[in-house]
Amino acid sequence: MKPFFEVNPRSYLVSESLKGESNEVAHIDMLIGPEDGYIGETFADTLSRQTEGHSNLLAVVKPNELVLPPTVTFAKVTIKKLKQVVHMFGDAQAAVALAVGDALKAGKFDKLIDDPRKLRIVVGVFVHWQADNGKKVLEYNYLATSAAIDNAINLYPSRDDVIKFVETAAKHPFSAFADGDEFPAALAAMRKGAGY
Protein backbone atom coordinates (compact mmCIF):
# COMPACT_ATOMS: atom_id res chain seq x y z
CA MET A 1 0.00 0.00 0.00
CA LYS A 2 1.33 3.44 -0.95
CA PRO A 3 1.93 5.96 1.84
CA PHE A 4 -1.06 8.28 2.44
CA PHE A 5 0.60 11.47 1.19
CA GLU A 6 1.85 9.83 -2.02
CA VAL A 7 -1.80 9.22 -2.89
CA ASN A 8 -3.03 12.52 -1.39
CA PRO A 9 -0.13 14.98 -1.85
CA ARG A 10 -2.11 18.18 -1.11
CA SER A 11 -3.89 16.72 1.92
CA TYR A 12 -3.09 17.13 5.57
CA LEU A 13 -4.18 15.55 8.81
CA VAL A 14 -5.78 17.36 11.75
CA SER A 15 -5.77 16.02 15.27
CA GLU A 16 -5.96 16.92 18.94
CA SER A 17 -5.68 15.31 22.33
CA LEU A 18 -6.25 16.26 25.96
CA LYS A 19 -4.40 14.41 28.74
CA GLY A 20 -3.78 15.00 32.41
CA GLU A 21 -5.43 17.06 35.06
CA SER A 22 -5.23 20.18 37.16
CA ASN A 23 -3.01 23.07 36.05
CA GLU A 24 -0.58 20.69 34.33
CA VAL A 25 -3.24 19.46 31.88
CA ALA A 26 -2.00 19.16 28.30
CA HIS A 27 -4.06 20.00 25.25
CA ILE A 28 -2.40 19.44 21.88
CA ASP A 29 -3.67 20.62 18.48
CA MET A 30 -1.80 19.08 15.56
CA LEU A 31 -1.44 19.40 11.79
CA ILE A 32 0.61 16.88 9.78
CA GLY A 33 1.37 17.14 6.08
CA PRO A 34 4.00 17.10 3.32
CA GLU A 35 6.68 19.81 3.26
CA ASP A 36 5.60 20.91 -0.21
CA GLY A 37 1.93 21.31 0.73
CA TYR A 38 -0.19 23.54 2.93
CA ILE A 39 1.39 22.30 6.15
CA GLY A 40 4.89 22.96 4.84
CA GLU A 41 3.83 26.58 4.29
CA THR A 42 2.16 26.70 7.72
CA PHE A 43 5.30 25.25 9.31
CA ALA A 44 7.51 27.98 7.82
CA ASP A 45 5.01 30.70 8.68
CA THR A 46 4.65 29.48 12.27
CA LEU A 47 8.41 29.30 12.82
CA SER A 48 9.13 32.69 11.30
CA ARG A 49 6.25 34.62 12.86
CA GLN A 50 7.20 35.45 16.44
CA THR A 51 5.11 37.76 18.61
CA GLU A 52 5.37 38.87 22.22
CA GLY A 53 4.23 36.08 24.51
CA HIS A 54 4.09 33.57 21.64
CA SER A 55 7.56 32.28 20.87
CA ASN A 56 7.29 29.44 18.40
CA LEU A 57 10.11 26.93 18.44
CA LEU A 58 11.39 23.80 16.80
CA ALA A 59 10.95 20.59 18.74
CA VAL A 60 14.37 19.20 19.62
CA VAL A 61 15.25 16.01 21.46
CA LYS A 62 18.00 18.03 23.10
CA PRO A 63 19.88 21.15 21.99
CA ASN A 64 21.25 20.77 18.45
CA GLU A 65 19.27 17.55 17.82
CA LEU A 66 16.17 18.30 15.77
CA VAL A 67 13.46 15.66 15.82
CA LEU A 68 12.22 14.07 12.58
CA PRO A 69 9.80 14.73 11.04
CA PRO A 70 10.63 18.42 11.61
CA THR A 71 8.13 19.75 14.14
CA VAL A 72 7.34 23.30 15.24
CA THR A 73 5.50 24.08 18.45
CA PHE A 74 3.54 27.20 19.30
CA ALA A 75 1.96 28.38 22.53
CA LYS A 76 -1.84 28.49 22.46
CA VAL A 77 -1.92 30.92 25.38
CA THR A 78 0.15 34.04 25.96
CA ILE A 79 3.29 33.21 27.90
CA LYS A 80 3.67 35.82 30.63
CA LYS A 81 5.59 34.24 33.49
CA LEU A 82 9.13 32.86 33.61
CA LYS A 83 7.78 29.53 34.87
CA GLN A 84 5.58 29.27 31.74
CA VAL A 85 8.63 29.96 29.58
CA VAL A 86 10.51 27.15 31.30
CA HIS A 87 7.56 24.76 30.88
CA MET A 88 7.09 25.69 27.19
CA PHE A 89 10.75 25.76 26.13
CA GLY A 90 11.68 22.85 28.38
CA ASP A 91 9.05 20.38 29.48
CA ALA A 92 6.33 20.77 26.83
CA GLN A 93 8.66 21.17 23.85
CA ALA A 94 10.76 18.19 25.00
CA ALA A 95 7.62 16.09 25.44
CA VAL A 96 6.48 16.88 21.89
CA ALA A 97 9.94 16.04 20.50
CA LEU A 98 10.13 12.75 22.40
CA ALA A 99 6.63 11.69 21.32
CA VAL A 100 7.40 12.50 17.66
CA GLY A 101 10.74 10.70 17.92
CA ASP A 102 9.14 7.63 19.50
CA ALA A 103 6.49 7.58 16.75
CA LEU A 104 9.29 7.75 14.16
CA LYS A 105 11.13 4.89 15.86
CA ALA A 106 7.92 2.82 15.90
CA GLY A 107 7.49 3.36 12.13
CA LYS A 108 4.18 5.21 12.49
CA PHE A 109 5.03 7.88 9.91
CA ASP A 110 5.83 5.20 7.30
CA LYS A 111 2.07 5.00 6.66
CA LEU A 112 2.17 8.65 5.59
CA ILE A 113 5.36 9.21 3.60
CA ASP A 114 8.49 7.37 2.48
CA ASP A 115 10.97 9.88 3.96
CA PRO A 116 10.21 11.59 7.30
CA ARG A 117 12.33 14.60 6.25
CA LYS A 118 9.59 15.40 3.70
CA LEU A 119 6.89 15.62 6.37
CA ARG A 120 6.09 18.62 8.61
CA ILE A 121 4.25 18.71 11.93
CA VAL A 122 2.77 21.83 13.54
CA VAL A 123 1.79 21.49 17.20
CA GLY A 124 -0.19 23.90 19.36
CA VAL A 125 0.71 23.49 23.03
CA PHE A 126 -1.34 24.65 26.01
CA VAL A 127 0.71 25.53 29.10
CA HIS A 128 -1.45 26.77 31.98
CA TRP A 129 -0.18 29.95 33.60
CA GLN A 130 -0.40 28.27 37.02
CA ALA A 131 1.31 25.00 36.05
CA ASP A 132 3.77 24.13 38.78
CA ASN A 133 4.94 20.54 38.29
CA GLY A 134 7.34 20.32 35.34
CA LYS A 135 7.41 16.51 35.45
CA LYS A 136 3.62 16.42 35.02
CA VAL A 137 3.78 19.02 32.20
CA LEU A 138 6.32 16.74 30.46
CA GLU A 139 4.30 13.56 31.09
CA TYR A 140 0.93 14.94 30.05
CA ASN A 141 2.28 16.66 26.92
CA TYR A 142 4.07 13.46 25.91
CA LEU A 143 0.85 11.46 26.33
CA ALA A 144 -1.26 14.07 24.51
CA THR A 145 1.20 14.37 21.62
CA SER A 146 1.45 10.59 21.25
CA ALA A 147 -2.34 10.29 21.22
CA ALA A 148 -2.70 13.14 18.71
CA ILE A 149 -0.20 11.43 16.38
CA ASP A 150 -2.11 8.14 16.63
CA ASN A 151 -5.44 9.90 16.09
CA ALA A 152 -4.12 11.67 12.98
CA ILE A 153 -2.54 8.60 11.43
CA ASN A 154 -5.63 6.50 12.13
CA LEU A 155 -7.96 9.22 10.79
CA TYR A 156 -9.73 9.39 14.14
CA PRO A 157 -12.44 10.33 14.79
CA SER A 158 -14.53 8.91 12.00
CA ARG A 159 -17.89 10.30 10.96
CA ASP A 160 -19.61 7.60 13.03
CA ASP A 161 -17.47 8.47 16.08
CA VAL A 162 -18.50 12.12 15.88
CA ILE A 163 -22.18 11.22 15.55
CA LYS A 164 -21.85 9.03 18.65
CA PHE A 165 -20.13 11.87 20.57
CA VAL A 166 -22.94 14.26 19.69
CA GLU A 167 -25.70 11.75 20.43
CA THR A 168 -24.32 11.04 23.88
CA ALA A 169 -23.80 14.77 24.48
CA ALA A 170 -20.20 14.20 25.50
CA LYS A 171 -18.99 16.95 27.78
CA HIS A 172 -15.78 18.91 27.41
CA PRO A 173 -13.85 19.00 30.71
CA PHE A 174 -13.56 22.80 30.55
CA SER A 175 -17.20 23.49 29.72
CA ALA A 176 -19.76 24.82 32.16
CA PHE A 177 -21.06 21.26 32.47
CA ALA A 178 -17.73 19.60 33.31
CA ASP A 179 -18.88 18.83 36.83
CA GLY A 180 -21.10 16.01 35.55
CA ASP A 181 -24.40 17.89 35.40
CA GLU A 182 -26.68 16.94 32.55
CA PHE A 183 -27.14 19.39 29.74
CA PRO A 184 -29.90 21.78 30.79
CA ALA A 185 -33.32 21.11 29.36
CA ALA A 186 -33.16 24.42 27.45
CA LEU A 187 -30.04 23.29 25.58
CA ALA A 188 -31.59 19.92 24.81
CA ALA A 189 -34.74 21.64 23.51
CA MET A 190 -32.66 24.04 21.43
CA ARG A 191 -30.78 21.16 19.80
CA LYS A 192 -34.01 19.24 19.17
CA GLY A 193 -35.73 22.33 17.72
CA ALA A 194 -32.83 22.82 15.35
CA GLY A 195 -33.28 19.30 14.05
CA TYR A 196 -30.53 17.66 16.03
Residue 3 makes CB contacts below 8 A (sequence gap 6+) with 110, 111, 112, 113, 114
Task: Find the catalytic residue in 27, 54, 87, 172.
Answer: 27
**Helix %, strand %, coil % of the chain (to 5):** 45, 20, 35
> How many angstroms separate the most distant Cα atoms in the chain?
57
- Distance separating alpha carbons of residues 128 and 123, to the nearest angstrom: 16
Q: E-assigned strands of the chain?
A: 13-19, 26-34, 57-58, 60-62, 65-66, 71-75, 119-125
Helices 93-105 and 134-153 meet at what angle, rounded to 10?
A: 40
Taking the CA atoms of residue 29, residue 31, residue 32 and residue 35 in that order, the dihedral angle to the nearest 10 degrees is: -140
The reply to whether 27 belongs to the active site is yes
The DSSP bridge partners found for residue 57 are 73
Taking the CA atoms of residue 67, residue 45, residue 49 and residue 69 in that order, the dihedral angle to the nearest 10 degrees is: 0
Which residues are known catalytic residues?
A: 27
